Amino acid sequence: MNKKFWKKKKILITGIDGFVGSNLAKELVILESNVSGIVFKKKKRSLLYFEGISKKCKLYKGDISDYHFLKKIFKKNNFDIVFHLAAQVEVGVANSDPFQTWESNIKGTYNLLDIINKSKNVKSIIVASSDKAYGTYPKKSLPYKENYKSAAIYPYDVSKACADMISKTYSSKLFNLPIIITRFSNIYGPGQIHFSALIPDLMKSIIKDTKFVPRGNGSDIRDYIYVKDIVDIYLIISSKLFKDPKLRGQVFNAGNNKPKTIKSIIKELYLYKNQKEKLRKILNIMKNKKTVGEIKYQYMDYSKLYKYFKWKPKYKFKNTIPILFKWYSNFFQKYN
């Protein structure tokens, strides 16, 4: 990576105090970029504050579905690169009351891109779509490829599919904005503090001895990619897009290409701490459970990223387990 490229670059990260946003900000601060970010409601427990990264960034507090709030930020700044990561990401929240998810994920995206389109100053825009934007494909179609059309049905998935399509429109010849769209599989690692997500929930249960409530029988297939690999991809694609207009409108998938059943992840983490009895009880409860409102089989393929940029993941799930336990133990000591 060309470290010099990032020095003094003016960056905006929407969702900077989110899981991925705070990990990205951490790296950009190290690279001496000039980092600004949008935060929704201050989350004191975010890695951004927990690790003191916020002190080195300029933060704007507000809602991306508020057009005028966003416009003011762009009036004051001349950003070189934008990472659009802000979104309502909790599947359960989206399923029970989707309105805020539409507002943040769809309206927030067209507000942002409309403002950028009117100024035409930004040279590189990364929009975080998701593997969920594809919706459900039969098991035989796995892994998902970038040319698959969206078959999204569930609210979170539809919200990401809409944001994805809107971004495609803005990158088309009609508007020609420098946008790359990313569709990643499940991301995990330090800083993920949505305890409705599988890995944080398991960490909490194992470290703090809380009850883990499985959402299904564990046969669902997912692919987990470590957050440092994601930060690596973001830095590569945004800097390449900055210099190469031909990359406009490209979509990149990424995962580990190592699909796992949910059951195998649960087993691996409990057994790492030798909690056999607790695991046995959980597996028993899981037998009769059925997942509702979620895609059953999903994993990505990173071969396009490899073809374009020779990128492949550096982190294996097994090797990240000790890092996870260390980080979450520290976190729970501080925030109980």
Residues in touch with ligand NAD (CB under 6 A):
15, 17-21, 38, 40, 63-65, 85-89, 104, 108, 128, 130, 160, 184, 186-187, 194
Q: Which is nearer to ligand NAD, 129 or 279 (CB)?
A: 129
Q: Cα angle at 19 between 14 and 23, to 5 degrees? A: 85
Q: 156 an active-site residue?
A: yes
Work out whether strand 179-184 and strand 124-128 pair parallel, antiparallel, or are unpaired. parallel
Q: Which is nearer to ligand NAD, 80 or 164 (CB)?
A: 164
- Token pair recorded at residue 309: 């940029």
Q: Which is nearer to ligand NAD, 104 or 250 (CB)?
A: 104
- Token pair recorded at residue 23: 């990990």
Minimum Å gap between C-beta 85 and ligand NAD is 4
Q: Which is nearer to ligand NAD, 108 or 249 (CB)?
A: 108
Sheet holding 34-39, edge to edge: 58-61, 34-39, 10-14, 81-84, 124-128, 179-184, 251-254
Q: CA–CA separation, 54 vs 259, rounded Å?
A: 35
Minimum Å gap between C-beta 128 and ligand NAD is 4
Contacts of the segment 271-278: beta carbons below 8 A, 24+ positions apart: 272/321, 272/325, 273/206, 273/325, 275/206, 278/205, 278/206
Residues 137, 154, 156, 170: which is the catalytic one?
156
Q: What 3-state DSSP class applies to 115?
A: helix
Q: CA–CA separation, 287 vs 213, rounded Å?
A: 12
Minimum Å gap between C-beta 230 and ligand NAD is 8
Minimum Å gap between C-beta 173 and ligand NAD is 26
Q: Which residues are catalytic?
A: 156
